[in-house]
A and B are shown apart, each in its own frame.
Chain A
Amino acid sequence: MSIYLPIAELSVNIILLLSIGGVVGFLSGMFGLGGGFLMTPILIFMGIPTNVAVATSANQIVASSISGTIGYWRQGLVDFKMGGVLLIGSFFGSILGVWIFSRLVVLGQIDTVISILYFALLTSIGLIMLIESSQVIRDRVRRKTVKRKIHYHNWAHKLPFKMKFYKSKLYISAIPPIIIGFVIGILSATMGIGGTFILIPAMIYFLGMPTSKVIGTSLFQIIFVTALVTLLHATTTFAVDAVLAFFLIIASVIGAQLGVLAANKLRGEEIRALLAIIVLGVAVKIALDLLVEPNEIFNITVIRALF
């Protein structure tokens, strides 16, 4: 059974679509990730045009980050003020990102740039996850517990425009969160990701936020960044496929909930290591597509169709 995607302009199998949404949702629920970094390349592998894959992923992440935020908000783990400051940067970042994106579409370099960005992102994510999970496994074998510093001072405390973030127990400059938000906005608009993977470590190490508040706050700000990115893409690149997004959202929301359940029952490190290997596999596939000489070195783009 297949369905025609009106914006991507191709037919895909519904079961395949739901499985992809479900599996990516499951992994994101299990590990507390956005999942966009896997969704976009998989959609591109399926033959969906790069611009549609990126714009539609952003739309899908809106739904998954809302579900996620509610859970953290109920437990009081969202720092709305910090989220708001991050958003100021993200707002301008995503506008710049969509502008860069549409320029690259005109220049015909969007596929290449997206591939290179994804290769870099997935390789680093994969390696970090692999190293981290193997360390945890090793430490568990040695029965060691790792102690972490909860709060430390760094350069973020020395800049001007200092603000009080009561929820995070921080008194830091507003500049670093705005810069972080700006970078996330660009990445979200060009790659169709929420950016959790960059946002979470940045919030912990650059801003010194307490780990407990980081996931909820990042999810909260991702709702608005991806919502803005969806609107910008819908109005400038016309690449948001509502039908594709609908099926991905349904499957990923269900998948994410099952993922959360599974996370409570399974031991994470081994699965995390497995996910790291999957992520690295996707990165290798992207690299090969760039490095292997294509069968057809010419490609066609229809710029204007007369109706």
Chain B
Amino acid sequence: MHFKIFLLIKLFVLFLISPASALVIGSDEEEIYIDANFSGKNLLVFGAFYSDPSQARDDKSDILIEVVGPSEDVVIRKKESFFGFWLNSKSVGFNDVPGFYYLSSTNEITNEFLNKNNIGLLNKKDTQLIDWSALNIDWGNVKNQKEKGTFYDALIRTKESEDVYRKVNGEIQIIDGNLFRSYIEIPNTVPVGQYKVNLYLIIDNKISNEYSYNFMVTRVGIEEAIYSFSKNYPLIYGLISLLIAILIGLSGAEVFKRFRKV
């Protein structure tokens, strides 16, 4: 609660010092902790269009919120039928793709606008618009442009079905014409690491102002400890797993022997 009050004060100070047309924002989270019981969370992003509170937002100004998660390398494999069996065949490696991507706007933003300003990954409706050169892709033996598009679509589709890629509009609430607020759903499937929030104030189809800040997603708890232990000390982890198996196996036989004698 103190934190929120602090943010409101920060917001107020920003109102005073900012120029006339500014984008001022705040967020209620700087770090999100995911434990075994984490079932997703709503990240609050809020702010104001203008530093002058009496100035109200007009139809020409829009807010765009972009959240980009830590990057990862993925392989998309396509199954094909060989003599009736569905087997993985062609594969494409997409490197440095965001593990989480969220794009939200007050009004629908066109793909042309996003491309012109280098924003967005989710232009899947029109593969012509994808700027391949901006992505680090290992196409393998996929040569055909149309086929490349199907692999890219598959990447976006899979990530969308995992709820880690989303593109929405109209989810940003506008209060009193000048203040905005949005709850961004962070599902429990998100990767850990540093996330970047980019906010754009768009006036007359041009970016008038932008603001960025980072937050962290961290895994905590016993499960996380086991996970990192297994990666950092695999031999000791393996030996402990074995020891548990041996002890339970031995005691199982022992307990049962006594049980049988009774």
Contact = CB atoms under 8 A, between A and B. Distances in A.
A242 B240 CA distance: 9
- Which DSSP category, helix, strand, loop or mixed, fits chain B's interface? helix
Contact of B253 (A70, A108, A233): A70
Given A6-B227, A108-B88, A305-B70, A231 B252 contact: no
Interface string B220-262: 0001101100110011011111101110111011001001000
A249 B193 contact: no
A293 B191 CA distance: 30
Interface residues of A, number: 56
B252 A256 contact: yes
B151 interface: yes
B238 A299 contact: no
Interface in A68-83: 70-71
Contacts of B76: 298-300
B91 interface: yes
Interface residues of B, number: 56
Contact of B241 (A245, A294, A296, A306): A245
A112 interface: yes
Contacts of B253: 66-67, 70-71
B54 interface: no
B75 A108 contact: yes
Contacts of A62: 242, 245-246, 249
Contacts of B157: 296, 298
A13 interface: no
B248 A301 contact: no
Contacts of A109: 87-88
B244 A246 contact: yes
A90 interface: no
Contacts, number: 172
Contact of B75 (A60, A65, A71, A300): A300
Contacts of A66: 245-246, 249-250, 252-253
Contacts of B244: 242, 245-246, 249
Interface stretch (B41-49, B77-85, B120-128, B176-184): B77-85
A234 B237 contact: yes
A300 B99 CA distance: 12
Nearest to A113: B87
Nearest to B240: A242
Given A242-B241, A249-B249, A294-B86, A300 B79 contact: no
Contacts of B150: 298
Contacts of A128: none
B234 A253 contact: no
A247 B231 CA distance: 21
Interface string A229-240: 011011100101
Contact of B249 (A67, A260, A305, A306): A67
Q: Which 6 A-B pairs have the closest CB atoms?
A: A234-B238, A66-B249, A298-B154, A253-B252, A4-B36, A63-B249
13 contacts: A6-B224, A7-B230, A66-B249, A70-B253, A108-B75, A111-B88, A230-B241, A234-B234, A234-B241, A243-B223, A292-B86, A296-B157, A305-B192
